[in-house]
Amino acid sequence: GDTKISVLGLGAMGSALARAWLVAGYEVTVWNRTVSRAELLAAEGAKVAVTAREAVAVGDLVVVCLLDDVSVGEVLDGAELGGKDLVNVTTGVPGEARERAEWAVGRGARYLDGGIMAVPPMIGVQGSGAYVFYSGSSELFAAWGDVLAVPAAIRFVGEDPGLAALYDVALLSAMTGMFAGVSHAFALMRRTQVAPEGFAALLVEWLTGMAPYANGVAAQLETGDYTLGVTSNLAMMVEANGTLLRTAEEQGVSPELISPFMALMERRLADGHGDEGTTGVIDLLLR
C-alpha cells in the first residue's frame, strides 16, 4: 500500500518487526545507528534512511525499538515530531513511558507505548502467541490497529501511557517467580537419578494446573474477602512450609528462592489471618 512505516532500531526485535511489515507489502524505511545492520533488510526491499531525523520525516507511522529509553531520547533528539504518529516499543518502566509520552506530545506527536510479549522468532508468525500491549493515544491505536497487528497480536490496555509497560512487567515478574520455583524444584531433584526431562513434564503439568490460582486471588481481591473459596488455609500452608524447608535441608539445597515468600506468609499468619489463603501477602507488599 502507500502507507509509510519507519522503523528505528534494527536489533533482533526491530529487524523482526520491520521484516514482518515488509513481507506484508508495506513501504518500510529503516534506520539503525550501526548502518551494516540495515543491509539485510535493504536486500529484502526496505529503504534505508541515512539519519534518524530522515527516517522520522518519511514515516506516517514511526516505530522505535531501541535498547532503552535513554537511546530513544538520543535517537529522536533532532527529529521533527510534529504531526507524527510515534509508537515506542522499547522496553522501559512505566514512569519512563509516561515521560516519553509527555515529551512526544509536547513536540506535536501522537504517542503509543508498547510492551512486546514475544521473542523475535515469534514476530510475524501466525499463531505464535506473540502479542504487544499498547497504551497511550487511543486515536493512534484506532487509526493504526490493522497495521500494528501485522507483526503480532495487539492488546490496548488504556490511555495512561505507562500501562503497557506495567502490564508487561507484571507478567514478567510473575514469570520470575515461576522461574525461581522451577529452579528450586530442579535443585531438589539434582542429586537423584531422576531424569530432568521426565521431571520437567510433571512440572509443566503441575504449574499449568496451578495457574488458575490467580483467578482465586482476583475473586478475593474483588470481594475483599480473603477467605473466599479457601481450600488450603494459611495456617496449614505455613505448617507445610516447614516440610518444604526441611526437605531442602536434607537435599542440601539453599532455601533462598522460596524463603522470602514463606516469611511473608508467616507474618500474615502472625497477624491473625490463619483462615485466609495467600492473598493477604499482597497487602504486606504494598509500601
The answer to the question of residue 67 lying near ligand NDP (CB under 6 A) is yes
Q: How far is the CB of 230 from ligand NDP (least distance, A)?
A: 36
Dist. CA 27–CA 24, nearest whole Å: 9
Dist. CA 270–CA 255, nearest whole Å: 21
The answer to the question of residue 65 lying near ligand NDP (CB under 6 A) is yes
Q: Is 245 exposed, middle or buried (0-12, 13-18, 19+ CB in 10 A)?
A: middle
Q: How far is the CB of 123 from ligand NDP (least distance, A)?
A: 9
Q: Which set of grid coordinates corresponds to residue 244?
A: 518444604
Stretch that binds ligand NDP, among 42-50, 61-69, 141-149, 241-249 (CB under 6 A): 61-69
Compute the 3-state secondary structure of the chain and give helix, strand, coil in percent, each to the nearest 5. Answer: 55, 15, 35
The answer to the question of residue 281 lying near ligand NDP (CB under 6 A) is no
Dist. CA 209–CA 196, nearest whole Å: 20
Output DSSP code: residue 162: T
Q: How far is the CB of 94 from ligand NDP (least distance, A)?
A: 14
Cβ atoms of residues 144 and 114 within 8 Å:
no
Stretch that binds ligand NDP, among 27-35, 42-50, 157-165, 259-267 (CB under 6 A): 27-35
Q: Where are the beta strands (DSSP E) in the chain?
A: 4-8, 27-31, 47-48, 61-64, 85-88, 110-117, 131-136, 153-158
Cβ atoms of residues 59 and 4 within 8 Å:
yes
Q: Which is nearer to ligand NDP, 41 or 258 (CB)?
A: 41
Q: Which is nearer to ligand NDP, 32 or 220 (CB)?
A: 32
Three-state SS at 233: coil
Cα three-residue angle 106-109-111, rounded to 5 degrees:
100
The answer to the question of residue 28 lying near ligand NDP (CB under 6 A) is no
Q: Which set of grid coordinates corresponds to residue 149?
A: 497487528
Considering only 39, 74, 205, 249, the residue that binds ligand NDP (CB under 6 A) is 74
The answer to the question of residue 142 lying near ligand NDP (CB under 6 A) is no
Stretch that binds ligand NDP, among 3-11, 43-51, 218-226, 254-262 (CB under 6 A): 3-11
Q: Which is nearer to ligand NDP, 62 or 248 (CB)?
A: 62
Stretch that binds ligand NDP, among 33-41, 154-162, 216-224, 267-275 (CB under 6 A): 33-41
Three-state SS at 109: coil
Stretch that binds ligand NDP, among 7-15, 137-145, 169-177, 220-228 (CB under 6 A): 7-15
Q: How far is the CB of 76 from ligand NDP (least distance, A)?
A: 10
**Crossing angle between the packed helical segments 259-270 and 234-251, to the nearest 10 degrees:** 150
Q: Mask: binding to ligand NDP, 91-130, rule CB under 6 A, as x and -? A: x------------------------x--xx----------
Considering only 13, 81, 123, 147, the residue that binds ligand NDP (CB under 6 A) is 13
Three-state SS at 8: strand
Considering only 7, 10, 18, 56, the residue that binds ligand NDP (CB under 6 A) is 10
Residues of this chain that bind ligand NDP (CB under 6 A): 9-14, 32-34, 37, 65-67, 71, 74-75, 90-91, 116, 119-120
